[in-house]
Homo-oligomer: A and B are copies of this chain.
Amino acid sequence: MVIVQKFGGTSVGDLERIQNVANRVSKTVKAGHKVIVVVSAMSGETNKLVGFTEHFGENPERAEVDMVLSSGERVTAALLAIALNQMGHKASSMTGRRAGIITDDAHTKARIERIETQTMQAALDEDKILVIAGFQGVNEAGLVTTLGRGGSDLSAVAVAGAMKADLCEIYTDVDGIYTTDPRIEPTAKKLDKISYDEMLELASLGAKVLQNRSVELAKKLNVSLVTRSSFSTAEGTLITKEENIMEKPLVSGIALDRNQARIALGGVVNRPGIASDIFGALATSNVNVDMIIQTSGHDGSTNMDFTVPQNELTDAKAVVESFCQKKEIQDASFDESICKVSIVGVGMKSHTGVAAKAFSTMATENINIQMISTSEIKVSMVIDEKYAELAVRSLHNAYELDK
Contacts and interface: CB of A to CB of B under 8 A. Distances in A.
Contacts of A49: 75
B64 A85 contact: yes
A68 B79 contact: yes
Nearest to A59: B86
Interface of A: 15, 18-19, 22, 49, 52-53, 55-57, 60-61, 63-65, 67-68, 70-72, 74-75, 77-79, 81-83, 85-86, 92-93, 95, 98, 142-143
A83 B65 contact: no
17 contacts: A52-B75, A53-B82, A56-B83, A57-B86, A64-B79, A64-B81, A64-B85, A65-B82, A67-B74, A67-B75, A67-B81, A68-B75, A68-B78, A70-B74, A71-B72, A71-B75, A98-B142
Contacts of A98: 142-143
Nearest to A19: B56
Contacts of A67: 74-75, 77-78, 81, 93, 95
B86 A65 contact: no
A55 B15 contact: yes
Contacts of A75: 49, 52, 67-68, 71
Contacts of A57: 86
Nearest to A16: B55
A64 to B, nearest CB: 4
A82 B108 CA distance: 14
Contact of A86 (B19, B56, B86): B56
A40 to B, nearest CB: 15
Given A64-B79, A67-B75, 12 more contacts: A15-B52, A15-B56, A19-B56, A52-B75, A57-B86, A64-B92, A68-B75, A68-B78, A68-B79, A71-B72, A98-B142, A98-B143
A49 B78 CA distance: 11
Contacts of A81: 61, 64, 67
B79 A53 contact: yes
A15 B55 CA distance: 7
**Pairs of residues from A and B, 3 with the lowest C-beta to C-beta distance, nearest first:** A67-B78, A57-B86, A71-B71
A15 B52 CA distance: 7
Nearest to A55: B15
A333 B333 CA distance: 96
Contacts of A142: 98
A55 B60 CA distance: 35
